[in-house]
Amino acid sequence: MPLFLSAAFDKIKSSLKYFIINETNRIFQRKRTYILSYVKERLEFSQIPSILEKRLNSKYNESGYRKAKRVGVFQKQTKMKIFKNVLLGLMILGFAVSGCKKDKDEEAINYLQVGDSTIYLSDASLRYYGTGYSSAGAYNFDLRLVSSEVTIGDDGSTTNPGNGTEVYFETFTDNSANLIDGDYDLVTDGTEPAGSYDEGEYTFDDDIWVSFDEGTLSVKNTSSGYIINFTGADTEGNAVKFNYTGAITIYDVSSSSK
């Protein structure tokens, strides 16, 4: 090899060595094995100067460790922050869903459904008339269920029925204290036996009352009132059902006539 070419090659090699060292200082966070293999593969040096290897070890083991430690602490703090935010979000979402579900459940419990129309019921009353309206000697309770637009008066009757929905049943039972548990079926032969109702109807505006043609009224007493539901049909062929859960005040009007 000509002398000038040999000198130029040595100068290039020396410059390249220091270039590698300087660049290594900037990218010391990379893994030592990766950098070494990269240099060996790309530059095809048979040996890596010992100063380069020392710098790699020093930067990676000291600065790299300190940086990794800082990164680890930061990642840990970030994870904890994310976890706390997620937990807080889930708690807020849980309260919101719980509140919505409670509102929907309360609305869903008390309703009248006629065909595809659903009206929510807000109150109810039972008026006790004694045995005077039953040829079988059963005790008569008139059940009224109303929407929020209708007001139940001091005697259990309704006022402002033209502004809302009302459901009415004339029921008969064998207990004078309350409407006892059981199924009450429609009986229209004039006998009015216990466990029956002889009249049932509803109205959306008090101008037109629609009677029930068939159906069973189910009653269950609870510590907080009643659970009452009905499934049947009206005289216009509509499927009808309702549910009511809650306290119902009983009004003794046995000294009065209907």
Taking residues 79-102, report their average pLDDT.
54
DSSP codes joined into one string, 89-127:
HHHHHHHHHHHHHHHHHHHHHSEEEETTEEEE--EEEEE
Containing 54, the helix (H) or strand (E) segment is helix 50-58
HSE toward the beta carbon, residue 14, CA cutoff 13 A: 6
Torsion of CA 198, 202, 208, 211, to 10 degrees: -40
Instruction: Tell the residue number behind the tokens 């009353």, with chain if given.
Output: 125
pLDDT tens track for 66-90:
444 444 544 555 545 555 555 565 6
Residue 128 has pLDDT above 90, yes or no: yes
- CA angle at 72 for the pair 68 and 74, rounded to the nearest 5°: 115
pLDDT for res 109 = 85
pLDDT for res 62 = 46
Taking residues 145-168, report their average pLDDT.
90
Higher pLDDT pick, 54 / 240: 240
Containing 5, the helix (H) or strand (E) segment is helix 3-26
Query: What angle do the packed helices 50-58 and 3-26 form, to 10 degrees?
Result: 10
The tokens of 125 are what? 């009353």
160: confidence class by pLDDT, cuts 50, 70, 90: confident
Instruction: Tell the residue number behind the tokens 């293999």, with chain if given.
Output: 37
pLDDT for res 149 = 92
pLDDT tens track for 172-205:
999 999 999 999 999 999 999 999 999 999 999 8
Residue 224 has pLDDT above 60, yes or no: yes
pLDDT for res 37 = 56
17: confidence class by pLDDT, cuts 50, 70, 90: low
118: confidence class by pLDDT, cuts 50, 70, 90: very high
pLDDT for res 91 = 63
Instruction: Tell the residue number behind the tokens 């189910």, with chain if given.
Output: 218
For residue 11, count other CB atoms closer than 10 A to its CB: 10
pTM assigned to the model = 0.60
The tokens of 219 are what? 């009653």
Burial class (CB in 10 A: 0-12, 13-18, 19+), 89: exposed
pLDDT for res 159 = 83
What is the percentage of the chain residues whose pLDDT exceeds 70? 58
Containing 233, the helix (H) or strand (E) segment is strand 225-234
Containing 76, the helix (H) or strand (E) segment is helix 64-109
Q: How far apart are CA 135 and CA 126, in angstroms?
A: 20
